[in-house]
Structure 1
Amino acid sequence: MNSHDDNTRPSVQQDDGFDTVGSIETNVADGFTMAAVGDLLLARPVTKGHHPGLADVLRIFQKADVTFGNLETNILDVQSKGFPQAACNCVSAPELGPDLKAMGFNMVSRANNHALDWGLEGMRETSRALDESGIVHAGAGENLAQAGAARFLETARGRVALVSFAASFKPMARACNAAGEAPGRPGLNALRLTKSIVVPPAIFESLRRLRDILPGYKPSKQDRSCVVLDFEMKFEMGEKAGYCFDANPRDVADILRNLRRGKQFSDFCIVTNHGHQPGEWSQESPDYEQSFARKLIDSGADAYIVHGPHQLRGLEIYKGRPIFYSLGNFFCEDLRTPAGADFFDAYGKDPRVHTDAELNVDEMAIGYPTLEGFIAPLSDAVYYESVVAVSRFERNQLAELRLYPIELGRLKRFANRGVPSLATAPQARVILERLQRLSEPFGTQIAIENDVGVIRLKPDASM
């Protein structure tokens, strides 16, 4: 576990000497508990269906003040509302809103790469469904100010804020504010990243020579440190091949401001990011993530939760606050229907011949389509294994973190796959030992007790 000399987090003083408005300190009653999971990919209500083991998982939520997940779908009646506006589209029945509430969810993030799969009507219908079910949601709105704003949940142990943003999103899904006469654009709260491909010196020199002979090339000062081809692929020189990411400073400033406002109006603030970087295949976070996560905690976040890679990544305890670098999937019930014509085209299928189910099975086996091709098959066991993370706070610091291993029925028939149940003892150990290994680079030590991962901290310990 990481050790830090100073466990206090500074307050921003006002001119009159009072710091109550600018304080970033946590202010919840002892025993405050946050249950957190990753992606909610489901197309139908499940609580009344035949899903052995689901009730045991949902009982974990019962004592939580806030239960959080990432809603990676749209909730609407597709017979009368919207139409698919993405090749790979996620949609759920209207009954899902009340069903999520029945499961125990009271906070969900909306900023993700599927937020506008059914266009603005789908986004708005999803907001309406969540509002009617009494589920607080953040990350999508009629302009950037609304999409980026913190949203609030009242609990018996304190008021909870949620700030949601996405580092993975479709280009025109990004919300914008008004600019002059141009009105604001509805969409999601985005964190734009500039991606560079790092290559060894010899390969970098070859790319430089290729660029220099391409028609229309004009030298610039930037050419010494990087090679840009077709304004799409940027190469930098390094010792080891890989990827690096730079966060847009303006987006970072907006997120930090929304975080500050969220904490000023609440007792506990959750910040959440949906990002697939560097790729679905990776169990390691992108290079920008750790320093950015720590900056969020330093600025007042009480928990930072990442989702998107569809598999577990490591976790870190920083200054007595949890950082989850990916919580994987909680639901992966991919009964994606109806599927749009573009979805069939992407896999070379004919909707007059093939069924939606056959298309979804292909997606899990091949990967889902993007402009760059197909991204990572999602049929391996790691995409069907995850944890429910339950964080309990005492004296406004994390006192205990419990990690309950779950599995999503990977070997079940298609109609029943993707719904969580508690992992059996052997599988639970496999999941937790993987999480131990992935968390070790962050200095995090996870004990395994009765097939549950446990981290205990002394409330007055320096983190």
Structure 2
Amino acid sequence: MKTRLILFLSAFIVITGCRNLPEKKAIAENPVTETAKPVIKPISDTINIAAVGDIMLGSSYPDSTFLPPDSARNSFKYALEDLRKADLTFGNLEGVLLDTGAPVGYKLRFKNKGYLFRMPTNYGGIFKDAGFDVLSVGNNHSNDFDRPGRKSTIKILDSLGINTAGFKSHPSKKFTLNGVRYGFCAFSPNGQTVSLLEIAAAKNLIQQLKANSDIVIVSFHGGGEGTEYEHVPADTEIFKGENRGNLRAFTHAAVDAGADVIFGHGPHVSRAMELYKNRLIAYSLGNFVTYKGVSVSGVCGLAPLLKLRINKKGEFLDGRLISYIQNHQTGLRPDALNRTAFRIKTLTEADFIQPGLSISDSGAITPLVTN
């Protein structure tokens, strides 16, 4: 009798103990891609992060010809495992979530109206289903449709539980995920966003976040755009007469202020990476999924997915660049030739005498041991 009682109690403890195990993220109702399974997270002293650059799933402006034929349902099909399995997944939302509305007046000067990015609000569920926890709105297209666009975007992302920051009205976000307290902030040199150019103010914001966070993640949209801007200069970048920031100065100041991981985007091409004070800086993660409106020819079609491990102090442990490639006909696909990883490796070696890290041809990232 005693033996039966012990067996019963053991089984009860095992069954009930599993009920409250932490899981990665809630999956959106009526998922738009294949059924996603909740990931049961082990207790660990390390944090696994996945990050990508610009995401723009097509635009309903000026008409539906700029929307993908499958309503963007399969946008992340081949990357779902990499995106969903991370403890935290980041991307830059290049555009707004809005169903109707006119562009902000000064943007009507664009001859090609396909450069104004207005994604249908139901596309928000695609990001949720793909596993995104954090989306930056600090970029030059987040104000394409003025206040209604900004307001709708925040409303949709909040309703889905996707953390966002970058607008002047929403400069930062604090949240807890699987017991880790995160602080997130995003910067760009564009109107209605938190300024990339005001470094002292940026440092102050980061310091405030760090005071109440275990890990601070910083996003920035900066630098020139296109194939002529793959390299990270040592001074301020001017693009078409506009100050796009001194990115080395900004990122180093951000780390000095308490940033643990920094993700850059904006040039529409990949750029070098650097380890500064044992904190990882990705100067540009390029394009990831950008349907029409954004060129994906040549190196612009190289689509990196960065996976990294940090400890709970924010120190970089190791990482990997997963190479994808995209075009407007077939969308995002894995690249067995690892061209993206090799390109970032080459740029890193060219731009930094002492990058603090090593990238293999296959994309493995390891810190360099210095004496």
Per the normalisation by structure 2, the TM-score is 0.74
Whether 1:399 and 2:306 are equivalent positions in the alignment is no
Contact 1:108 / 1:137 at 8 angstroms: preserved in 2? yes
Say if 1:29 and 1:157, in contact at 8 Å, map to a contact too.
no
Structure 1, unpaired ranges of 5+: 1-27, 174-186, 193-250, 335-359, 365-377
1:330 paired with 2:288, answer yes
Q: Distance in 2 between matches of 1:136 and 1:284?
A: 30
C-alpha contact 2:132 2:162 (8 A) present in aligned 1: yes
Q: Distance in 1 between matches of 2:103 and 2:340?
A: 36
For residue 124 of structure 1, the aligned residue among 147, 151, 154 is 151
**Whole-Å Cα distance in 1 between the matches of residues 332 and 175 of structure 2?**
26
Q: Does 1:453 align with 2:363?
A: yes
Give the CA deviation at 1:279: 6.0
TM-aligned CA distance change 1:391 to 1:83, over 3 Å: same
Q: How many residues are treated as equivalent by the alignment?
A: 296
Q: CA deviation at 1:56?
A: 3.2
Query: Contact 1:29–1:394 at 8 Å: present in 2 too?
Result: no
Q: Which amino acid aligns with 1:439?
A: T
Q: 1:191, CA displacement in angstroms?
A: 2.5
If asked which structure has higher relative contact order (CA below 8 Å, sep 6+), I would say 1
CA shift for structure 1 position 252: 1.3
Distance apart, 1:278 and its partner CA: 7.0
Corresponding position of 1:59: 81
RMSD (Å) for aligned C-alpha atoms = 2.4
- 1:309 maps to 267
Q: Which has the larger radius of gyration?
A: 1
Matched position secondary structure for 2:342: helix
Q: In the TM superposition, what whole-angstrom CA distance separates every residue of 1:411-454 from its partner, at most 9, and x where no partner exists?
A: x53xx5xx322112x3x1x3222211101132342123xxx411
User: After superposition, what is the alpha-carbon deviation per residue over 1:375-403, rounded to whole angstroms, capped at 9, x for unaligned?
Assistant: xxx35311110211111123632111111
Aligned equivalent of 1:261: 208
Counting only pairs closer than 5 Å after superposition, residues 63-212 of structure 1 correspond to structure 2 as 63-78=85-100, 82-85=101-104, 86=107, 87=110, 88-140=115-167, 144=168, 146-148=169-171, 150-167=172-189, 169=190, 173=191, 187-192=192-197
Deviations 1:5-53 (A, max 9, x none): xxxxxxxxxxxxxxxxxxxxxxx961211111100111369797456xx
* Structure-1 separation of matches of 2:177 and 2:218: 18
- Go from structure 1 to structure 2 and tell me whether the alpha carbon gap of 1:33 and 1:50 turns closer, same or farther (over 3 Å shift): closer
For the 8 Å contact 1:271–1:305, the answer to whether it is kept is yes
Assess if the C-alpha contact under 8 Å between 1:158 and 1:267 holds in 2. Answer: yes
Pair 1:285–1:57, CA change in 2 (3 A)? same
The normalised TM-score by structure 1 is: 0.60
Q: Cα 1:66–1:395, aligned 2, differ >3 Å: closer, same or farther?
A: closer
User: Deviation string for 1:84-142 (max 9, x for gaps)?
Assistant: 122331110111111101000010111111111111111101111111111000011xx
Residue by residue, what CA displacement relative to the aligned partner does 1:195-252 show, whole Å, maximum 9, x if unpaired?
xxxxxxxxxxxxxxxxxxxxxxxxxxxxxxxxxxxxxxxxxxxxxxxxxxxxxxxx21
Assess, with a 3 A threshold, how the Cα gap between structure 1 residues 101 and 432 changes in structure 2: closer, same or farther: same
Q: Distance in 1 between matches of 2:301 and 2:213?
A: 35
Partner AA of 2:186 in structure 1: S
| 4+ residue segments displaced more than 4 Å | 44-48
1:37 and 2:45 matched: no
Change (3 A) 1:453 1:267: same
The structure 1 residue matched to 2:334, chosen from 407, 414, 422, is: 422
Output the CA distance in 1 between the equivalents of 2:230 and 2:149: 32
Partner of 2:249, secondary structure, is helix
- Counting aligned pairs with the same residue, the percent is 29
In 2: Cα distance, 1:379 partner to 1:317 partner: 28
